[in-house]
A and B are shown apart, each in its own frame.
Chain A
Amino acid sequence: DAKTTQPNSMESNEEEPVHLPCNHSTISGTDYIHWYRQLPSQGPEYVIHGLTSNVNNRMASLAIAEDRKSSTLILHRATLRDAAVYYCILRDGVEGDKIIFGKGTRLHILP
């Protein structure tokens, strides 16, 4: 599986935008970029995913670099409830059924 690299932790102030980076320099042409997050004491939950174009949904935006070797999850206005571990994951076109988790980024939100 192609690997992703994320910072171990990040901090942000409440009500400010948060940009969570992810590097995936060995991504293949058919890999989808997925983001999940895990709130304290809960199972992971889906946030967003994309292939080549930037994506928006009610939770976040996903900005994908033109060469697809990196992406950024954008939380437009962080709240205390967004404090979680955020995982950037590649799901490949061959074995796309299973998700392999990396270490993720622990996001701290400061009130």
Chain B
Amino acid sequence: SAVISQKPSRDICQRGTSLTIQCQVDSQVTMMFWYRQQPGQSLTLIATANQGSEATYESGFVIDKFPISRPNLTFSTLTVSNMSPEDSSIYLCSVDGLTSGSHSTQYFGPGTRLTVL
């Protein structure tokens, strides 16, 4: 299994500012994923982050708005840039378990609850 921590756990921000969310894993993992969960909704995948390469973004998400860093195999950051109230969501990171692929287990962090005023 993998234990994931996220910082901050929650924040209230002003529109136009940026927030960087950190994700720390207790073991080395190849792939990390960032999700957004808007109020009352399901999770939406933002991007996949591999160490040593640029993140791969899903349709509707762009690097300028959600830059991601992946400096090593246990850590990643997601920045929410130039925030607006529509960015108010829970942001979660996740990792694959010991193996990756269609038969592996993913582990999720507790999430960062962001409110933009």
User: Which of B42, B103, B111 makes the CB contact (< 8 A) with A103?
Assistant: B42
Query: Do residues A101 and B102 form an inter-chain contact, with CB atoms below 8 A?
Result: no
Whether the Cβ atoms of B94 and A43 lie closer than 8 Å is yes
A46 contacts across to B, CB distance below 8 A: 105-107
Q: Is A99 close to B, CB under 8 A?
A: yes
A96 touches B101 (CB 8 A): yes
Chain A's closest residue to B110 (CB) is A43
Stretch with Cβ within 8 A of A (4 or more), from B43-51, B61-69, B70-78: B43-51
Closest residue of chain A to B96 (Cβ to Cβ) is A97
With A43-B109, A98-B33, A101-B42 in contact, is A49–B100 under 8 Å at CB? no
Contact A96:B102 (CB < 8 A) given known A42-B110, A43-B94, A46-B107? yes
A32 and B102 contacting across the interface, CB-CB below 8 Å = yes
